Chain A
Amino acid sequence: MANLKEIKRRIGSVKKTKQITSAMKLVSGAKLSRASAAATAAQPYQQQLAGVLQRVGAAAGESVSSPLLRARPEVRRALIVVITSDRGLCGGFNNNLSKRAQAWIQEQRAAGVEVELGVFGRKANDYFRNRHFEVTLPVVNYGKTDKMELVRSLGERAEQGFVSGSYDAVFIAYNRYENTISQVPQIVQLLPLQLEAAESGAPAQPSGEMVEFEFEPSAKELLDALLPLYLRTLVLQAFLETEAGEHAARMTAMDNATRNASDLIGALTLEYNRARQAAITTEIIEIVSGAEALK
């Protein structure tokens, strides 16, 4: 009989877990639609900016000499910023990225590059702290902070560090949001900026021939003002995709958990019924044999 009670208790607890996971799935679903809407809303700006950059870049032509574009002949010091979420329960979302970044850092260090590490999100912070990495720029619990504020501070830091020569290159590691079931960890070079990347993302020119634009002030000055803005959109994109990816990953993870819970409940119910049946059978045998003995 004790066994019966035990199984019943377990069924109850799994049912509660299932309730929680299915609620989390619904919440993540709602948050995901908001996050992916935000990512979509940011796209026109990115495209327009990339378009403007392309036109200005083409006009500035050979004279492009902004410090943000200049690649150093040898990369000796680099900064990598890993962007993960603050909260877990989202499958391998954070861990895959952290592992990827760790492998990258070790590879670079083996090649003689001094790598400084910055992290956004509690998960990456914990990951690297546990492995005794020195984290120079830890930002945790950033979910409540305004995104543009984060983007601005990170962009500024990267820009200053790069221009002043503290870093020869700046990288950013985040999960690219492909769709609800696939987020791909990737490491992207932020600085020196690569204009080709901007051009491929730019909308095609309406007319085939090169359009003559009038620039005010000069194309060079415009470019100087544009590049930090472009840098920020790259960072913003990373944050937006991380947020959308986090919710998508959590939704998938919680969906799996809910399904596992259902399976477990089914198996436990079967076991419970068997045990109950066995108990009844035992009881009947006891009664019958008791009655037989009295005859």
Chain B
Amino acid sequence: MAELHVDIVTPSSLVFSGTATELVAPLWNGEADLLPGHALYLSLLRGGVLTVVGERGSERFVVGRGFVEAGPERVTVLTESCTPADQVDKAQAQQELKDLEHEMLTVNGFDSSAFDKVEERRERAQAVVELP
């Protein structure tokens, strides 16, 4: 079976590097399923849960915003934050989500960049909370 080489890179380390058969990534316009043989493709990653499906089951990561570069044989994920799903603190994320939702009400809606910053953090917290 064709395989995909997946690298998940953050500024502090190479979080994941290995082969996979499938990668489910939260892209800017919805979730995308990347399979081996994909056309050369570059897209935006949004905060959410990224799943690497390998031969021995799947691994989940909570990622922040970033980029996905896909090709027929390899996919590179660039993001500033990436945590393996089993290492996240759900209670803390729940609290953060609550705080951020409050913050969203107070932030100036006309200042789209300020709003976007809060939204970026909220996406991540939301993803953590919604983890099964």
Residues from chain B with Cβ under 8 Å of A41 in the complex: 12-14
Number of A-B contacts (CB under 8 A): 71
Residue A48, interface by CB 8 Å: yes
Known interface pairs A41-B14, A49-B78, A148-B80. Does A211 touch B40 (Cβ–Cβ under 8 Å)?
yes
The answer on a CB contact under 8 Å between B28 and A217 is: yes
B9's contact among A48, A217, A221, A222, by CB below 8 Å, is which? A48
Surface stretch bound by A, among B41-49, B52-60, B84-92, B98-106: B41-49
Chain A interface residue count, Cβ-Cβ cutoff 8 angstroms: 27
The answer on a CB contact under 8 Å between A215 and B43 is: yes
Surface stretch bound by B, among A7-15, A178-186, A225-233: A225-233
Known interface pairs A52-B69, A52-B78. Does A236 touch B42 (Cβ–Cβ under 8 Å)?
no
Sorting the interface of chain B by its residue count into under 10, 10 to 19, 20 to 34 or 35 or more gives: 20 to 34
Bound form: Cα–Cα A143–B81 in Å:
20
Residues from chain B with Cβ under 8 Å of A133 in the complex: none
Residues from chain B with Cβ under 8 Å of A215 in the complex: 41-43
Known interface pairs A216-B29, A217-B28. Does A45 touch B44 (Cβ–Cβ under 8 Å)?
no
A82 nearest CB across to chain B (Å): 22
Which residues of B (65-112) have their CB < 8 Å from a CB of A? 65-67, 69, 76, 78, 80-81
Residues from chain B with Cβ under 8 Å of A221 in the complex: 44
B70 nearest CB across to chain A (Å): 9
The answer on a CB contact under 8 Å between A38 and B39 is: no
B54 nearest CB across to chain A (Å): 21
Residue A103, interface by CB 8 Å: no
The answer on a CB contact under 8 Å between A213 and B28 is: no
Among residues of A, the one whose C-beta sits closest to the C-beta of B76 is A48
Among residues of B, the one whose C-beta sits closest to the C-beta of A156 is B117
Known interface pairs A52-B69, A226-B67, A229-B80. Does A45 touch B42 (Cβ–Cβ under 8 Å)?
no
Residue A208, interface by CB 8 Å: no
The answer on a CB contact under 8 Å between B11 and A236 is: yes
A236 nearest CB across to chain B (Å): 6
Residue A42, interface by CB 8 Å: yes
The answer on a CB contact under 8 Å between B78 and A216 is: no
The answer on a CB contact under 8 Å between A222 and B39 is: no
Residue B51, interface by CB 8 Å: no
The answer on a CB contact under 8 Å between A45 and B28 is: no
Among residues of A, the one whose C-beta sits closest to the C-beta of B41 is A214
- Interface 1/0s, chain A 44-83, versus B by CB < 8 A? 1110110010011000000000000000000000000000
Bound form: Cα–Cα A226–B68 in Å:
12
The answer on a CB contact under 8 Å between A222 and B44 is: yes
Which residues of B (1-53) have their CB < 8 Å from a CB of A? 7, 9-14, 27-29, 39-44
A43 nearest CB across to chain B (Å): 10
B39's contact among A44, A48, A214, by CB below 8 Å, is which? A214
B90 nearest CB across to chain A (Å): 21
The answer on a CB contact under 8 Å between A45 and B41 is: no
The answer on a CB contact under 8 Å between B78 and A48 is: yes
The answer on a CB contact under 8 Å between B12 and A216 is: no
B42's contact among A42, A49, A222, by CB below 8 Å, is which? A222
Among residues of A, the one whose C-beta sits closest to the C-beta of B80 is A148
Residues from chain A with Cβ under 8 Å of B43 in the complex: 215-217, 222
Residues from chain B with Cβ under 8 Å of A213 in the complex: 40-42
Bound form: Cα–Cα A221–B39 in Å:
20
Among residues of B, the one whose C-beta sits closest to the C-beta of A49 is B78
Residues from chain A with Cβ under 8 Å of B39 in the complex: 214
The answer on a CB contact under 8 Å between A42 and B12 is: yes
Given A45-B78, A229-B66, 6 more A-B residue pairs with CB atoms under 8 Å apart are: A41-B13, A48-B7, A148-B12, A148-B81, A216-B28, A226-B67
Sample of 7 A–B contacts (CB below 8 Å): A38-B12, A44-B14, A52-B42, A55-B42, A216-B44, A217-B29, A229-B80
Q: Please list the 8 inter-chain residue pairs (A to B) with the smallest Cβ-Cβ separation, ordered nearest first.
A: A216-B43, A213-B40, A45-B9, A41-B13, A214-B41, A45-B11, A44-B9, A215-B42
